[in-house]
Structure 1
Amino acid sequence: MSPISTSDIKPPSQLSFNGISNGNAVQPQQDPEYLSTQPGPDHDWKVSLKNKVVAITGANRGIGLGIAEVCLANDALAVYSLDIFEPGDEFQAIRNENPKRFHYIHCDVTSEESITSAIDTIVANQGRIDGLVANAGMTKHQPALQFDHAQLEQLFKLNVFAAYFCATAAAKKFIELGVRGSIVFTASMTSYRPNRAAPSAPYGATKAAVRNMTHTLAMEWAKHGIRVNSVSPGFVKTAMTYFVDQAPDWKLKMQYYGGMPRLADPKELGGAYVYLLSDGASYTTGVDLPVAGVVGAW
């Protein structure tokens, strides 16, 4: 092989890409218009929700309320709970600690009209919306052969269809406002593999659908500057899972499962959501973050 002469090396302005000259004679091929999620030069790289307006479905209790509390602790300008149930004492206590920052809007997330109306109300009140957590859902743990059609329909309507309605309604508003928004789904570790402590084939199927939606919507909406991610919790102590660690063989199971032999406090999930909602995650989209201390239980 003959040696390469320095005269053979072209400056960058004369190099070509895909057969198109980058020299002065030919204009470079234009890339499609994409709204970049990259923060500006004056961005504060602290992971924070400062000046962010966030909506969380099903945040009057349970995991949603824990997420809301952590968002508020990380300087969110306003957090809205979109829930069909009236707020309880826990909600009121957190609202009292965060006057004018924590709000409730009655919303049926299985209705496209209801969720669209709720998002419009937020924008009317705050002038913007920056993030939405599609968290509302339900579970039912029983052997697969005992599920009837009505139970399956109820699970899929709330866990899949409602999550889709929430995401699309938020995305339309982000695009309308030119906001580089963030959508975070609440999936589940059962979207990966069975929960041996409390099996539910239909529930796992709904959460697997949510996790797949995450990847596809992230791909579709990246050009609008919209990021879509999910969090997959493990065992979390809520009104829906109170029975899990009450089982007589719970401690024995934990000896074999490994990991952290306990249920999580809902607030322990909050950091994952705060990160994904924040500008600190400006290059993070289409991923699922498992937050499951009891690693071997799945």
Structure 2
Amino acid sequence: MTDQETRSNAVDLTGNVAFVTGAGSGLGRRFAKTLALSGAKVHLSGRRLEPLQSLRDELEALGCTVSLASMDICDADAICASLDHAESELGTVDILVNNAGISDADFATRLDLERIDQVISTNFRGPFIASREVANRLIKAEKPGRIVNLSSVGAFHYRPNSASALYCATKAGIVRMTETLAIEWARYNINVNAIAPGMFYSEMTDGFIDRVGDGISDRYPRKRIGDPAWLDSTLLYLVDPRSHFVTGTCIIADDAQVAR
């Protein structure tokens, strides 16, 4: 999908302020770009500053309004500080995309405590804190909002040799977090939904594909791995104000890669 095609889609986010975690690479980079090209002001957050600066320069050259700050999603104080920065630059954040995540990439019995804590903090604790903080600010400002959490088909499907039990468990937690927060915050017009992607090309999956080879796609019905651009319409549907009746839902976007 070209930038021009993204700009011309029917979802107009002019006046919205989006905060995207893990925006420096992979799906997060695509999500940030999609929101910006749909008219939203976008704050880019992530651990590495250089990729964020590169994306900011690219988007500003296209006429988008962007701010950025490096942030470790495991650091609650850093989350609040980054939101403060976003609000001072762009206004109240009313779209949150909880994209930052890491894989465990090993069998459970081989994981040390440091890795266990890191995966849980990155994939679940951080998104929960970010959601809570954004919701508190929206409630105080008496504004509606949209939160989109990134889960995974691993929340619903697991193979014996997957070697990602902890990752999948945290992504299942994201689905339940989405459902419960949606109910808790419905009275404030804050919608909370999730996307559960299958196998897409991204920085996280590159290592896995390197290990097992591109032949992994042969096991899929359509023999292909997802392009991040193919999630544009799913993301935009969930942040579109016209989708105000959709909350507490997890959309599986996996091209029928896994069993149901």
TM-score by length of structure 1 reads 0.77
Query: 1:221 and 1:235, CA in 2 relative to 1: closer, same or farther beyond 3 A?
Result: same
Q: Percent identity?
A: 25
For residues 108-187 of structure 1, the aligned pairs below 5 Å read 108-187=72-151
Gaps of 5+ in 1: 1-45
Matched residue SS, 1:140? coil
Structure-2 separation of matches of 1:84 and 1:242? 19
Deviations 1:93-115 (A, max 9, x none): 53343345132112222222221
How big is the shift at 1:121?
Answer: 2.1
How big is the shift at 1:240?
Answer: 1.9
Deviations 1:142-182 (A, max 9, x none): 22322222211110011110011100000001101111011
Matched residue SS, 1:296? coil
How big is the shift at 1:188?
Answer: 0.7
- Structure 1 position 94 matched with structure 2 position 63: no
Q: With a CA cutoff of 8 Å and minimum separation of 6, indicate the structure with the bigger relative contact order.
A: 1
- Structure 1 position 273 matched with structure 2 position 235: yes
Matched residue SS, 2:204? coil
How big is the shift at 1:92?
Answer: 4.8
Matched residue SS, 2:20? strand
Counterpart residue identity of residue 241, structure 2: D
Confirm or deny: 8 A CA contact 1:197 1:297 kept in the other structure.
no
Structure-1 separation of matches of 2:82 and 2:188? 22
User: 2:225: which partner in 1?
Assistant: 263
Query: 1:153 and 1:127, CA in 2 relative to 1: closer, same or farther beyond 3 A?
Result: closer
Query: 1:212 and 1:114, CA in 2 relative to 1: closer, same or farther beyond 3 A?
Result: same
- Structure 1 position 60 matched with structure 2 position 42: no
Query: 1:160 and 1:248, CA in 2 relative to 1: closer, same or farther beyond 3 A?
Result: closer
Most deviating of 219-228 and 269-278: 269-278
Of 29, 44, 49 in structure 2, the residue corresponding to residue 81 of structure 1 is: 44
How big is the shift at 1:57?
Answer: 0.6
Structure-1 separation of matches of 2:125 and 2:93? 22
- Structure 1 position 236 matched with structure 2 position 200: yes
How big is the shift at 1:262?
Answer: 2.2
Structure-2 separation of matches of 1:133 and 1:201? 24
Confirm or deny: 8 A CA contact 2:146 2:238 kept in the other structure.
yes
Confirm or deny: 8 A CA contact 1:197 1:244 kept in the other structure.
no
Matched residue SS, 1:182? strand
What is the number of equivalent residue pairs in this alignment? 250
Counterpart residue identity of residue 270, structure 1: D
User: 2:155: which partner in 1?
Assistant: 191
TM-score by length of structure 2 reads 0.87
Confirm or deny: 8 A CA contact 1:189 1:234 kept in the other structure.
yes
Structure-1 separation of matches of 2:224 and 2:159? 15
Structure-1 separation of matches of 2:54 and 2:86? 22
How big is the shift at 1:72?
Answer: 1.9
Matched residue SS, 1:193? coil
Most deviating of 119-128 and 205-214: 119-128
Confirm or deny: 8 A CA contact 2:191 2:246 kept in the other structure.
yes
Most deviating of 114-123 and 276-285: 114-123
Deviations 1:18-68 (A, max 9, x none): xxxxxxxxxxxxxxxxxxxxxxxxxxxx43322211000110111100111
Query: 1:160 and 1:79, CA in 2 relative to 1: closer, same or farther beyond 3 A?
Result: same
Query: 1:108 and 1:296, CA in 2 relative to 1: closer, same or farther beyond 3 A?
Result: closer
User: 2:15: which partner in 1?
Assistant: 51
Matched residue SS, 1:158? helix
Structure-2 separation of matches of 1:93 and 1:197? 42
Most deviating of 186-195 and 196-205: 196-205
Most deviating of 101-110 and 53-62: 101-110
Structure in which a larger fraction of residues adopt helix: 2
RMSD: 2.2
Structure-1 separation of matches of 2:238 and 2:190? 12
For residues 211-226 of structure 1, the aligned pairs below 5 Å read 211-226=175-190
Q: Which has the larger radius of gyration?
A: 1
Query: 1:165 and 1:80, CA in 2 relative to 1: closer, same or farther beyond 3 A?
Result: same
